[in-house]
Structure 1
């Protein structure tokens, strides 16, 4: 296996179902060293250099929070653990109904699911962010969602390389 193939195998899942981000980031990351900070920077640079349609595809690859995939047990292991850490796997029927209504309204308005780095947040904090962000413009929310995808990748990378002092 080449260095590129190993890099993509190892880091290709940091951007949900989008290994092309790692593929495009490899040359930059390899040239500066494979620390968590360098890998994250290279991944984000590749993501931000992608076309708006490619970035939109990454956003659309994310699951709804507490949505159908979660109920069916079909989330990626990272997404399942992240949602569980915020208690989204233990919602009351009323809370689940609220998440479902917000997911539907948000996706209808923006064309992609609500994305937030849930690690360290409570379900109430997530709902508050959901309710606040649904009033954003398309441009604001696209940028916010892209920044959240990068934050999720950073948190996933940090859990993969815990000894690295990357903040």
Structure 2
């Protein structure tokens, strides 16, 4: 998909294709659509990042709260978004031992209790061992550090999703 095709999309088409580049936050995609025409896919991504960066802390926390727990209830119930299913599978979170699952459940709980939002990491750039190591490490952060780190991870996830969509690897969210 080239930038001319992206710029030629109606609002509805743009939302159907790019509506989940930020997990369960189609309003961000909707807001970015008004910045068309984009000179490149990278410029479109930059608009998404600028929108996120312009949000107050509560808005950034809201974005993080839209993410599922890693290897959590949504994974076991099959209610993850298509994108999250692929990402968690690739990181090995669908083939955990019972001990690994217990560890992740405990770490997820500790993390959410401390910070008030789920642990977010770019699962596609990680594996289950790195994820657990990062969770333990990031539990030592203060809330502001973790808000910034989580937001940066959201941007990594967005980048990979946009790249896959532009190459036709991921299916659009609604088409």
TM-score, normalising length: structure 1:
0.90
Distance (whole Å) between structure 2 residues aligned to residue 54 and residue 5 of structure 1: 24
Spell out structure 1 runs of 4+ moving beyond 3 A: none
Q: Are residue 129 (structure 1) and residue 134 (structure 2) matched?
A: yes
Q: Post-superposition shift, 1:45?
A: 1.0
Matched residue pairs, number?
161
The secondary structure found in structure 2 opposite 1:119 is helix
Q: Under a length normalisation based on structure 2, what TM-score does the superposition of the two structures give? A: 0.86
The C-alpha deviation readout for 1:117-140, integer Å capped at 9, x for no partner, is 011322111111111111000000
**Which of 59, 62, 68 is 1:63 aligned to?**
68
2:30 aligned partner: 23
Q: Please give the residue correspondences for 1:2-13 in structure 2 after superposition, counting only pairs within 5 Å.
A: 3-13=10-20
Instruction: Give yes or no for contact 2:60–2:147 (8 Å, CA) kept in 1.
Output: no
Cα deviations across residues 137-156 of structure 1 (Å, max 9, x unaligned)? 00000000001011101011
Unaligned runs of 5+ in 1: none
CA contact (8 A) 1:85 1:120 kept: no
Whole-angstrom CA distance in 1 between matches of 2:38 and 2:148: 27
* Offset of residue 56 of structure 1: 1.4
Distance 1:51 1:22 in 2: 18
Report the alpha carbon displacement of residue 55 of structure 1 after superposing the two structures with TM: 1.8
2:149 corresponds to which residue?
Answer: 144
Query: Paired residue for 1:83?
Result: 88
- More relative contact order, 1 or 2 (CA 8 Å, 6+ apart): 2
Specify every segment of 5 or more residues in structure 2 that has no aligned partner in the other structure, as ranges: 1-7, 169-175
Q: In the alignment, does 2:49 pair up with 1:32? A: no
Q: State whether residues 25 and 45 of structure 1, in contact with CA within 8 Å, keep that contact through their aligned partners in structure 2.
A: no
Pick one of 18, 21, 37 that aligns with 1:14. 21
Q: Helix, strand or coil: the match of 1:104?
A: helix
